[in-house]
């Protein structure tokens, strides 16, 4: 395949950016050497792999993955029996961490079988060896003392010997007798041995071995006799230390060698995952999606929907719809200069080429791409002073090569076909070139200003016109592509708007032939019809969208009403159950209160009747107040003002978590993925996910003498019996009734509050509990439970 298209279509810039996103040097080299997949089946599989990693990246975030290099050489060296250095073992350890990190990242979320399963299953984490290397080797030059017991013992002895040497040398430095013979009161190292600097004239005054002399000769470095033996001991210990380090490195090297060939397979899989992660990160940057791949260029062709050039700022680029190969095989694009014709050519070619290299494309996911055997491109100025080629000659030389390669399953992109020479001859030559390319079976996209090519496209089957729209009021291109209608160059209008005198424009129109005038008039009418059609299409789209949204909103409201009705019914059932229990408890309480009134000899009959009526009235109001069903209003929320691709959000009406898959459109709709479904919702209907759900505080119930008991793991008022103010006889009766209710409710632990006072009530209750059939054990309350004022009862 001719690879010149990579630079012409700027595919090399896409690949270079993806290489920057690779973590490993070898993966970057593989990315830069990337070649197109040889057939449509492999292209589909490659796109599916990239899409799978892209989905995992959005759901799981970036994996723990660090860059490593030259690991293949290191493992091969170990396999041949070589001893690895500490730096090389650190690279092995980092690689093993990558294996573990990728393996854990892949299993963070549940998912079906993916095209990348084989790559992740090929990873073989070695957590034990990874930890041993990490613990033993601190840096490329330093091994930890804890690497082995022997190494730890040797280094301890070295430090102890060094300390003894320093102590002896410090004694020499501080000795007033020997101090005057020294050049400086310092200890230094020479040939790995501790020495002191002695003045040359006193060399005989300090006994020991001379190891060095200063450059001036005024200072000699003497190893005092007192430390000669200790220095020799240190040298011996250092040698033993180095032997132990070599032994440890040899052991680690043997472990690495034993991993082959499994380690190399895992390493290859890791590099492939690194490549896919880079492609997926690029897809996130470009808001790219996986296209479908057609079976044949000649039969199905490609169809790009809302396609964007990936190298143009996403905030400025205008999406285009362009198709070729299904209904027509040649597309002739016309329109004014700087109107977007060349960008359209490059976008179509680049997105097909990106998909053929395994990259997701910045277009709608309903887009279809083709697998091409060749990309034949003539875009830009091909003139060459060195080769004596003019602009026209350069184009013709390139087109000559294109004609030699054109065939079915090829895509030909020609910019300004026939330009640079006499217009009549250039137009005739352009028509002839298009005819030849069609005969050879290539799909062709060409841009031109020639009216002859517009007429040719109108009259020739399988050839269609397209135009890049232009706003004549602002003199600015809209960069939108309209297929089926030839465009106008608008040279007269643009010139007049830019200040060319009107008489010159009028004279220029007079020089046009009648045929050209008629064609210009027809194109003007077509432009007007096209604008009317666009407006009608927009209105129809808006009406369809509003109808769909209204239906969807009605269904959601219906579902919400059903859900609220079920919640209210459940709330009513719970209320009824609570009321039944409350009536039973209140009946007990009323009976006990009436008995107390009957025992109250001081109160006369009228007072007792008045008190009974008051109790009945209050308890009736209490019971009636519980019959109201609480409605759960729809929670208010703060809508998001903006979202980013991959952001976690909640669809407010449904309380459904979702992930953003597309930026908000001009209509304020955002594309999100909720589970396996994709849909569009208004930006105003999205809210941030709740990071912490706090339970609503329980409603405060009025105090009562006896209360309903419920099964719970915390102490509540329903687990307590308050006997403050009761006589012993009354308290024992209340206790029996309270314990019976607790047993019926399945309660395990209850609290009887009797206070401290004289202690008579506590003593009576605890004596009664010892013989009660429902009591397993009891104890006094602890700190925070009421201490001696509370008895905690454990029931059977």
pLDDT tens for each residue of 584-633: 676 666 666 666 666 665 555 555 555 655 665 566 556 555 554 444 44
Task: Give the C-alpha separation, 37 to 46, whole Å.
Answer: 8
Considering only residues 427 and 520, tell me which one the structure prediction assigns the higher pLDDT: 427
Q: For 81-85, 164-168, 254-258, 397-401, which range has the lowest pLDDT when averaged over its residues?
A: 164-168
At 518 the pLDDT is 59
Between 86 and 179, the higher pLDDT residue: 86
Q: What does the alpha-carbon distance between residue 448 and residue 427 come to, in Å, rounded to a whole number?
A: 9
Q: How far apart are CA 187 and CA 191, in angstroms?
A: 13
Q: Is the pLDDT of residue 246 over 80?
A: yes
Sign of the Cα torsion 698, 700, 701, 704 reads positive
| Residue of higher predicted confidence among 47 and 207 | 47
Q: Tokens 């990071």 identify what position?
A: 691
Whole-angstrom Cα distance, residue 8 to residue 539? 39
48 confidence band (pLDDT: 50, 70, 90)? very high
Using the predicted structure, report yes or no on whether residue 384 has a pLDDT greater than 60: no
**Alpha carbon of 377 to those of 19, 296, 334, 395, 622: distances in Å?**
25, 20, 18, 10, 87
CA angle in degrees (0–180, nearest 5) for 548-549-551:
65
Distances (CA, A) of 318 to 52, 347, 363, 541: 28, 11, 11, 19
Q: What are 238's two structure tokens?
A: 């250092």
Question: What is residue 176's predicted lDDT score, i.e. its pLDDT?
Answer: 65
Asked if residues 321 and 397 have their Cβ atoms less than 8 Å apart, the reply is: no
Please say if the pLDDT value at position 281 is more than 90: yes
**Whether residue 219 has pLDDT greater than 80:** yes
From residue 150, alpha-carbon distances to 133, 159, 233, 247, 648 in Å are: 17, 14, 17, 11, 54
Q: Do residues 136 and 149 touch, judged by C-beta distance below 8 A?
A: no
Per-residue pLDDT tens digits for 407-425: 999 999 998 888 877 778 8
SS3 state of residue 125: coil
CB neighbourhood size of 775 (10 A): 18
Report the DSSP beta bridge partners of residue 446: 332, 414
Q: Which two tokens stand for residue 347?
A: 């976008």
The vertex-209 CA angle with 206 and 214, nearest 5°, equals: 85
Peptide bond just before 261 cis, omega within 30 deg: yes
- Residue 753, classified by CB atoms within 10 Å of its CB into exposed (0-12), middle (13-18) or buried (19+), is middle
Cα–Cα–Cα angle for 254, 260, 264, nearest 5°? 130
Query: Kind and range of the H or E element at 321?
Result: strand 320-324
Q: Residues 360, 279: contact at Cβ < 8 Å? A: yes
Cα–Cα distance, 210 to 195 (Å, whole number): 9
Asked whether the predicted pLDDT for residue 707 surpasses 70, the reply is no
Question: Hey, what are 525's tokens?
Answer: 């009418």
Which is it for the CA torsion 420, 423, 426, 430, positive or negative? positive
CB-based contacts of 719: which residues, under 8 Å, 6+ apart?
709, 712, 747, 749, 750, 751
Whose tokens are 């301890």? That residue is: 156
3-class SS letters over 506-528: HHHHHHCCHHHHHHHHHHHHHHH
What are the structure tokens assigned to 761, written together? 């009530």
Q: What is the pLDDT of residues 658-679, one digit of tens each?
A: 899 888 888 888 888 887 677 8
Q: Is the pLDDT score of 391 beyond 50?
A: yes
CB-facing half-sphere around the CA of 481: CA atoms within 13 A: 29
Which of 84-93, 205-214, 277-286, 619-628 is predicted least confidently? 619-628
Please, what is the average pLDDT of the chain?
81
Cα 467 from Cα 489, distance rounded (Å): 10
- Determine the pLDDT at residue 303: 93
Which of 385-399, 411-425, 700-714 has the highest average model confidence (pLDDT)? 411-425
Q: Which residue in 611, 629, 625, 619 sits closest to 583, CA to CA?
A: 619
CA distance 588 to 568: 30
The answer on pLDDT for 657 being more than 50 is yes
The fraction of the chain above a pLDDT of 90, given in percent, is 34
- Maximum Cα–Cα distance across the chain: 132
CA distance 412 to 434: 10
Given a cut of 70, whether residue 453 has pLDDT beyond it is: yes
Q: How much is the pLDDT for 629?
A: 45
CA distance 125 to 137: 19
Q: What is the pLDDT of residue 703?
A: 44
b/e map of 706-741 (b: 16 or more CB within 10 Å)? bbbbeeeeeeeebbbbbbeebeeeebbebbebbbeb
Most confident of 70-79, 500-509, 629-638, 746-755: 70-79
Residues 569-587: b if buried by 16+ CB within 10 A, e if exposed: eeeeeebeeeeebbeebbe
Residue 601 buriedness (CB in 10 A; 0-12 / 13-18 / 19+): exposed
DSSP 8-state class, residue 758: T
Q: Which of 377, 336, 347 is nearest to 498 (CA)?
A: 336
Q: Tell me what pLDDT residue 387 has.
A: 44
Helix, strand, or coil here: 550? helix
Q: Record the tokens describing residue 614, joined without a space.
A: 């008051």
How far, in Å, CA of 344 to CA of 309, rounded?
8
Q: Can you give the pLDDT at residue 702?
A: 45
Say which residue, 479 or 772, is predicted with more confidence.
772
Residue 372 to residue 405: CA distance in whole angstroms: 12
Distances (CA, A) of 549 to 215, 276, 432, 754: 92, 38, 51, 65
- The pLDDT tens digits for 159-212 are 898 888 888 777 777 776 676 777 677 777 777 788 878 887 766 767 677 777
**Over the stretch 220-235, which tens digit does the pLDDT of each residue have?**
887 777 777 787 888 8
Token pair 């090829």 is found at 410
Look at the pTM and tell me if it is higher than 0.75. Answer: no
The pLDDT, as a whole number, for residue 622 is 60
pLDDT band of 527, cuts 50, 70, 90: low
Rounded Cα distance, 468 and 422, in Å: 25
Q: Which residue has the tokens 């953003």?
A: 660
**Orientation angle between helical segments 728-744 and 760-770, nearest 10 degrees:** 40
Q: Read off the tokens for 516.
A: 């050209």
Distance CA 120, CA 104 (A): 10
pLDDT confidence of residue 91: 93
Residues linked to residue 378 through DSSP beta bridges, in sequence order: 414
Strands (DSSP E) contained in 662-703 are 669-674, 677-682, 686-687
Q: Name the CA dihedral angle for 734, 736, 740, 742, rounded to a multiple of 10 degrees.
A: 60
In which band, very low, low, confident or very high, does the pLDDT at 351 lie, cut at 50, 70 and 90? Answer: very high
Give the tokens for residue 200.
């040359």
């Amino acid at each position: 395949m001719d690879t010149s298209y990579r630079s012409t279509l700027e595919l090399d810039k896409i690949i270079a950016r993806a290489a920057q996103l690779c973590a490993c040097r070898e993966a970057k080299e593989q990315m830069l050497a990337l070649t197109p997949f040889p057939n449509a089946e492999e292209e589909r599989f490659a796109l599916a792999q990239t899409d799978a990693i892209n989905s995992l990246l959005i759901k799981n975030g970036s994996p723990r993955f660090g860059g490593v290099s030259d690991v293949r050489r290191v493992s091969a060296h170990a396999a041949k029996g070589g001893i690895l250095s500490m730096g090389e073992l650190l690279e092995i350890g980092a690689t093993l961490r990558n294996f573990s990190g990728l393996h854990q990242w892949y299993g963070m979320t549940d998912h079906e079988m993916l095209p990348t399963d084989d790559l992740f299953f090929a990873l073989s984490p070695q957590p034990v060896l990874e930890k041993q290397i990490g613990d033993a080797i601190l840096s490329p030059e330093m091994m930890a003392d804890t690497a082995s017991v022997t190494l730890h013992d040797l280094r301890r002895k070295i430090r102890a010997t060094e300390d003894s040497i320093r102590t002896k040398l410090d004694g020499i430095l501080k000795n007033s007798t020997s101090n005057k013979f020294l050049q400086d009161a310092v200890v230094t190292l020479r040939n790995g041995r501790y020495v002191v600097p002695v003045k040359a004239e006193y060399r005989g005054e300090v006994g020991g071995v001379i190891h060095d002399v200063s450059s001036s000769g005024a200072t000699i470095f003497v190893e005092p006799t007192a430390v000669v033996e200790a220095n020799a001991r240190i040298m011996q210990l250092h040698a033993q230390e180095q032997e132990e380090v070599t032994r440890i490195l040899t052991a680690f090297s043997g472990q690495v060698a034993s991993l082959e060939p499994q380690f190399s397979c895992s390493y290859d899989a890791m590099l492939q995952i690194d490549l896919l992660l880079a492609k997926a990160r690029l897809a996130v940057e470009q808001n790219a999606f996986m296209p479908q791949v057609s079976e044949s260029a000649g039969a199905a062709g490609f169809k790009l929907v809302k396609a964007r050039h990936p190298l143009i700022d996403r905030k400025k680029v205008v999406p285009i719809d362009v198709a070729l190969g299904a209904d027509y095989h040649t597309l002739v694009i016309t329109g004014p200069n700087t109107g977007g014709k060349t960008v359209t050519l490059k976008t179509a070619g680049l997105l097909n080429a990106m998909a053929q290299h395994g990259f997701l494309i910045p277009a709608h996911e309903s887009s279809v791409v083709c697998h091409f055997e060749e990309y034949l491109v003539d875009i830009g100025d091909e003139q060459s002073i060195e080769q004596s080629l003019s602009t026209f000659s350069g184009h013709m030389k390139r087109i000559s090569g294109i004609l030699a390669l054109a065939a079915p399953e090829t895509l030909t992109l020609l910019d300004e076909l026939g330009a640079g020479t006499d217009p009549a001859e250039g137009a005739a030559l352009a028509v002839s070139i298009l005819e030849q390319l069609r005969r050879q079976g290539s799909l062709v996209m060409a841009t031109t200003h020639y009216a002859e090519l517009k007429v040719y496209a109108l009259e020739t089957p399988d050839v269609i016109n397209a135009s890049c729209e232009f706003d004549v009021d602002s003199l600015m291109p809209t960069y939108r592509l309209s297929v089926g209608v030839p465009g106008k160059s608008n040279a007269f209008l643009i010139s007049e708007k830019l200040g060319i005198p009107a008489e010159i424009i009028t004279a220029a129109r007079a020089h046009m032939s009648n045929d050209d005038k008629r064609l210009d008039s027809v194109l003007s009418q077509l432009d007007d019809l096209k604008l009317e059609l666009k407006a009608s299409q927009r209105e129809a789209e808006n009406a369809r969208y509003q109808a769909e949204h209204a239906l969807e909103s009605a269904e959601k409201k219906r579902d919400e009403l059903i859900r609220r009705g079920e919640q209210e019914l459940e709330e009513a059932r719970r209320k009824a159950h609570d009321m039944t229990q409350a009536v039973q408890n209140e009946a007990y309480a009323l009976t006990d209160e009436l008995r107390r009134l009957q025992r109250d000899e001081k109160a006369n009959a009228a007072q007792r009747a008045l008190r009974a009526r008051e109790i009945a009235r209050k308890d009736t109001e209490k019971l009636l107040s519980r019959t109201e069903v609480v409605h759960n209003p729809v929670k208010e929320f703060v809508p998001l003002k903006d979202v980013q691709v991959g952001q976690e959000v909640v669809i407010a009406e449904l309380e459904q978590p979702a992930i953003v898959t597309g930026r908000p459109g001009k209509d304020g709709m955002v594309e999100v993925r909720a589970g396996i479904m994709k849909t569009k919702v208004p930006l105003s209907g999205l809210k941030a996910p709740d990071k912490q759900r706090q339970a609503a505080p329980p409603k405060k119930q009025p105090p009562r003498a006896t209360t309903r008991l419920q099964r719970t793991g915390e102490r509540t008022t329903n687990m307590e019996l308050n006997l403050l103010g009761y006589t012993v006889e009354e308290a024992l009766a209340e206790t029996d009734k309270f314990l019976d209710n607790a047993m019926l409710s399945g309660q395990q632990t209850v609290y009887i509050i009797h206070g401290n006072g004289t202690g008579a009530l506590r003593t009576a209750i605890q004596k009664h509990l010892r013989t009660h059939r429902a009591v397993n054990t009891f104890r006094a309350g602890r700190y925070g439970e009421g201490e001696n004022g509370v008895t905690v009862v454990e029931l059977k």
